[in-house]
Chains A and B, each alone.
Chain A
Amino acid sequence: MIGQEPRRLPVKDGLLTVPLSPLEQVRLVGSKCPACREVTLGTISNCPNCAGSGLKPIPLANKGTLWTYTVIRNRPPGDFRGPEPFVPFGEGLVELPDGIRVLSPLGGDVEKLAIGMEMSFEAHKLYQNPDGVDVIAFRFVPSRGTNQ
């Protein structure tokens, strides 16, 4: 594959900034309402707060704080694409300075998660689809040097 860009797709259209390479530069996309200023995850056309239109996509911050969390102890139902065999992982809401709490899987040691800890955004390959394309998803991980 040397000299060739890996073929990549986001896990959902409009959720991640493009290009998807290099992964370190990928950010979450939010939609900002010009009327009420609320920010919603992903690329959407109508504001769920004020029903306004003309929302603008913006890249979201790549650092935030953990607002709440849980630990998923059993394999989630349905077509879960995480590691096999299943390993318990964190899920939480990460508050970003953009004014949104993003619901996200959490990386890192599940026993060390704590409300208020600083978290960093990370885009990663979730799986390869049958066409050989890497599907890119996201998670937040405790920032380096944070209580780990």
Chain B
Amino acid sequence: MTDTSVIVGVGMHKFGRFGDKPAAEIGRDAVHVALADAGVSWRDIEAAYLSTMYLPATSGARILRSLGATGIPICDVEAACASGGVALRQAILALQSGAHELVLVLGVEKMPKGFMDPLMLYERWQVEMGMSTNPSYWAMRARRHMHEFGTTEKHIAKVAYKNHRNSVYNPYAMYRKQFSLDEILDSKLVCDPIRLLEICAPNEGAAAVVLATERKARQLTSKPVRVAACVHTLALYSSDFRVPAESMSATYVNPGPTEVTAQKAFQASSISPEEIDCFEVQDTDAFCELEIYEQLGLCPLGEAGRLIDEGVTEPSGRHPVNTSGGLICKGEPVGASHLGQIAEIVWQLRGQAESRQIPKAKVGLAHVLGAGGNCAVTILKTLQ
């Protein structure tokens, strides 16, 4: 890295359902908050990137140009659940190249209710044969993990319990209700062994991030947060059978996308998982979070159940995960999701996370993973 990229402002529009409120308004609300947080105006922004999967073409221009047609380059970026990480990376590359000194990344989504349109992710024959239920892939991974390592339905439910409880303190989350372990274990099976209170829902929302070069950032903020790494990779051959549905090799073992992406991020930042104070990760379902503990290196393969039992990932534990309530409680407005994680970590590192605050948090990691094997990991660190 030749130059340091620094986050100087973040803003969120709550994740949830907002009736007829247009996506553009939801997005602009987040932009206004982020610009105010950075202490800059729209006229100061030199380039902007929109992260979205469901909005139509040139939505970035349509949403942002109405703030003032300043003529700056604005483009849309899409990489499924990892869209926000990819947009962020484009912004960082622009800063590092010397092309710009102050840029904006916005994630916005207004998704239809219920399941995502399967033909966006699957071939027609897979839909016709009934292989288009997204949670089924997570469920099959969970079932295999239980078989190999003795992970239990209770371990999975404990993740959901933790995230639902954390969400009570997050005003930006869609669901903010605590559930007992029994209520979670009694909720309807969606795809065995995954239950209704253990999965995330698509929804609406926005998050915006203002980034600057270090030189510019020093003029703007007294609490700069450095981007220590921002990595995007696609799943290696036969390493992950997340959507779209794929048969797999029975002879070839490749590390999964989370493991590969996280390793690259750890190397780029010279930060190890042990040094990270707070994590926001892709809990598309509660089992995913368990698997991510292992893939990020928080515990050896097969020991995620023990980690949740020992409370390591609780807000009071050594490595708090999803203090925001995670996607299970925030919902997943796909394009905004990673940038929402970034906002949460920036607040944690600045000491502004209110009742969710992790004491003395200095380093945080955000992780997303989704369709096409798209994975992004961003590591943030307070800048001394």
Contacts and interface: CB of A to CB of B under 8 A. Distances in A.
Determine if chain A interacts with chain B.
Answer: yes
Interface of A: 11-12, 15, 38-41, 48-49, 67-74, 76-82, 89, 91-93, 95-96, 99-105, 115, 126-127, 135, 137-139
A38 B249 contact: yes
Contacts of B237: 38, 48-49
Contact of A76 (B117, B127, B144, B247): B127
Contact of B250 (A12, A69, A95): A95
Nearest to B248: A101
B141 to A, nearest CB: 7
Given A49-B237, A100-B247, A102-B247, A78 B127 contact: yes
B133 A74 contact: yes
Contacts of A135: 128
B130 A115 contact: no
B246 A72 contact: no
Contacts of B123: 12
B348 interface: no
B148 to A, nearest CB: 9
A11 B117 contact: no
A78 B132 contact: yes
Given A68-B147, A73-B192, A78 B140 contact: no
A101 B117 contact: no
Given A79-B128, A91-B130, A137-B128, A38 B251 contact: yes
A92 B133 CA distance: 12
B contacts with A: majority SS: loop
Top 10 nearest A-B pairs by Cβ distance? A77-B115, A70-B139, A78-B118, A12-B125, A68-B144, A78-B127, A41-B247, A11-B125, A70-B191, A71-B192
A64 B245 CA distance: 19
Nearest to A10: B125
Contact of B118 (A11, A38, A76, A105): A76
Interface in B118-149: 118-119, 122-125, 127-133, 136, 139-141, 143-144, 147
Interface residues of B, number: 42
Contacts of B4: none
B250 A99 contact: yes
A82 B114 CA distance: 20
Contacts of B125: 11-12, 15, 137
B233 interface: no
A11 B131 CA distance: 13
A125 B249 CA distance: 27
A79 B117 CA distance: 10
18 contacts: A70-B139, A70-B194, A72-B133, A73-B190, A76-B131, A77-B114, A77-B118, A77-B127, A80-B128, A81-B128, A81-B130, A91-B130, A91-B133, A99-B249, A99-B250, A101-B248, A103-B245, A105-B129
B7 to A, nearest CB: 37
A77 B133 CA distance: 7
B124 A79 contact: yes
A105 B130 contact: yes
Interface centre among A69, A92, A96, A99 (most CB of B within 10 A): A69
Given A12-B124, A38-B252, A69-B140, 18 more contacts: A38-B249, A49-B237, A49-B249, A69-B143, A70-B139, A70-B194, A71-B192, A78-B117, A78-B127, A80-B130, A81-B129, A91-B130, A91-B131, A91-B136, A101-B247, A101-B248, A126-B129, A127-B128
A93 B129 contact: no
A93 B191 contact: no
A115 B193 CA distance: 14
Contacts of A68: 140-141, 143-144, 147
A104 B139 CA distance: 14
A93 B192 contact: no
A68 B193 CA distance: 12
Interface in B244-290: 245-252
B189 interface: yes
Contacts of A69: 140, 143
A79 B127 contact: yes
A72 B118 contact: no
Contacts of B124: 12, 79
B246 A103 contact: yes
Contact of A71 (B116, B127, B131, B191): B191
Contacts of A126: 128-129
Nearest to B246: A103
B140 A76 contact: no
Interface centre among B122, B140, B252 (most CB of A within 10 A): B140
